[in-house]
Amino acid sequence: MNKSTDKQSRRVIISGGGTGGHIYPAIAIADALRAADPTTEILFVGAEGKMEMEKVPKAGYRIVGLPIVGIKRAVSLDNVAFPVKLTRSLLKARSVLRTFRPDVAVGVGGFASGPLLMVASLLGVPTLIQEQNSHAGLTNKLLARRASTICVAYPGMEKFFLQRKIKFLGNPVRRDIIDSGSKRAEALTRFGFEENRKTLFVMGGSLGALSINESISAGLKQIIGAGYQVLWQTGKAYIEKAREVVAHVDSGRVKVFDFIYEMDLAYAVADVVVSRAGALSVSELCLAAKPCILVPYPAASEDHQTKNAQNLTRQNAARLMPDNRAASELVEAAIQLLGDEPKQMELKQNIAKLARPNAAAEIAQEVLKLIP
């Protein structure tokens, strides 16, 4: 494949998405590439109809969508269309690659990264994979055979990938998260919270989490009655129900949103966090150094969220709450941790040790090394 003849302008394609756990690391890598060389041309490739088609342009980057979909685990008529959509995605990926002529292709996981990186490698484009989780996903395991470099966030990934290809660099996270500790006053004003009350920040990832949302709904009066305030990100599917619950509680100490873009301020105001255990959330919690209760999503591929959470709990850096116990135990555990400042400090100190603040910049350098 012919490379760009303009030596002043490097061209990088970044593919993947589906959830914030793939999208925001991709954006962090793009930002780091631009910081290293502002002339770099960057094109994102995502899956049509997925959230990256909205979030990436908001971050200031151009994106092209592929018609790719995932295979349903259960028997489904949707699986009949998969071969057709895969074929169309491979053809479109080839067209995008021939038009854009990238010097390197980066895959961050998600539906779109499979077709794009597969075709890129066949066309002779160097490829880099960024695996966020402690258990490699199927797409990345397949792509790894032809990848030049594989950047990982957890030790022990040689059980999935060739050791000589692995770079242990951590997960790329937006710079504003790293600086969130200095923004508490701004965050209190932004969310309208009282300075002298402890704040519980509840989030279920970019798409929301039903078990967490239902647990908080059932126990919201209990949390408020204990004297705390709540910042609650529900995801779009649960926002109307949550607003009804908050109205019924009738307390100004609960702020509810379907999605929070100012995550730096959300972490800044939080004393304790309840969260899913996706790779991005875990990496952000490490950087923000927040005491947390992790509720792994049990249906995640290869149960990788449980493995992510266990990696922290083994180091006394977080508490783990199984999803099937959330309804009966989550609220009480959150109230207990909010009232235990020595435990908060212990978790805070231990989780901070796991942070990798320079991951995005270091991954960007690995990308640039692959450009001939």
The answer for residues whose C-beta is within 8 angstroms of residue 142's C-beta and 6 or more apart is 114
Determine contact, residues 349/286, Cβ cutoff 8 Å: no
| pLDDT score at 93 | 95
Alpha-carbon dihedral sign for residues 242, 244, 249, 251 = positive
Angle at 172 between CA 27 and CA 274, to 5 degrees: 100
Give the pLDDT of residue 80: 62
Q: What is the pLDDT of residue 364?
A: 97
First to last CA, the chain: 13
CA–CA–CA angle 359, 364, 370 (5° rounding): 135
pTM of the model: 0.82
Backbone angles phi, psi at 160, to 5 degrees: -110, -30
Write out the chain's pLDDT in tens, 372 residues: 655 444 568 999 999 887 777 888 999 999 999 999 999 999 999 999 888 999 999 999 999 999 987 665 555 566 666 788 889 999 999 999 999 999 999 999 887 899 999 999 999 999 999 998 888 888 889 999 999 999 999 888 999 999 999 999 999 987 788 888 899 999 999 999 999 999 999 997 666 699 999 999 999 999 999 999 999 999 999 999 999 999 999 889 999 999 998 999 999 999 999 999 988 899 999 999 999 999 999 987 778 899 899 989 999 999 999 999 999 999 999 999 999 999 999 999 999 999 999 999 999 999 999 998
By three-state DSSP, how is residue 89 classified?
Answer: helix
